[in-house]
């Protein structure tokens, strides 16, 4: 998998000015949304946006350099622009940056019903580690998926 270059892709670090559009995409993508303050805090971590004329997608991750681990906290693409490889490029850019940071593995949680997302993550090398059931009342289950980063 080639390492994407930030200057050759419409991917760049997120800024405070992107938050309104990120919140709009968040609202269209998730039943339980993050608030602006959560995204504002995430700006201090690894946070990329994909932008053409507008921001079309975003990915937020946090890292623990000591443990050499990272977690993808949020990834979303505007519904009008899904299926164009935007999420793939966001993940590839993030993974490339994590490798530069000497991170050994990255994980994420995905709702078990989001089969398209699960397929994408598996194509990018993520493997299912376990099934997590939040509560029986909500009938919500997630997959914990991990990607080992070679050479980290």
pLDDT digits (tens, 9 = 90+) for 117-152: 999 999 999 999 988 887 666 678 899 999 999 754
H or E stretch covering 36: helix 36-42
pLDDT higher for 6 or 61? Answer: 61
| This model's pTM is above 0.85 | yes
Return the CATH number of the domain spanning residue range 6-148: 3.40.630.30
CB-based contacts of 151, cutoff 8 Å, min separation 6: 99
CB 135 within 8 A of CB 90: no
* pLDDT band at residue 52 using 50, 70 and 90 as cut-offs: very high
């Amino acid at each position: 998998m080639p390492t994407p270059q930030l200057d050759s892709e419409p991917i760049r670090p997120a800024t405070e000015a992107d938050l309104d559009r990120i919140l709009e995409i968040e609202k269209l993508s998730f039943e339980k949304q993050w608030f602006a303050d959560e995204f504002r805090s995430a700006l201090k971590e690894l946070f990329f946006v994909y932008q053409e004329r507008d921001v079309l997608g975003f990915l937020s991750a946090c890292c623990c350099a000591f443990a050499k681990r990272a977690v993808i906290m949020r990834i979303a693409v505007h519904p009008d622009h899904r299926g164009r490889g935007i999420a793939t490029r966001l993940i590839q850019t993030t993974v490339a940056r994590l490798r530069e940071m000497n991170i050994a593995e990255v994980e994420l949680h995905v709702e078990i019903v989001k089969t398209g997302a699960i397929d994408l993550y598996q194509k990018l090398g993520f493997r299912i580690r376990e099934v997590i059931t939040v509560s029986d009342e909500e009938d919500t289950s997630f997959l914990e998926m991990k990607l080992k980063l070679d050479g980290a």
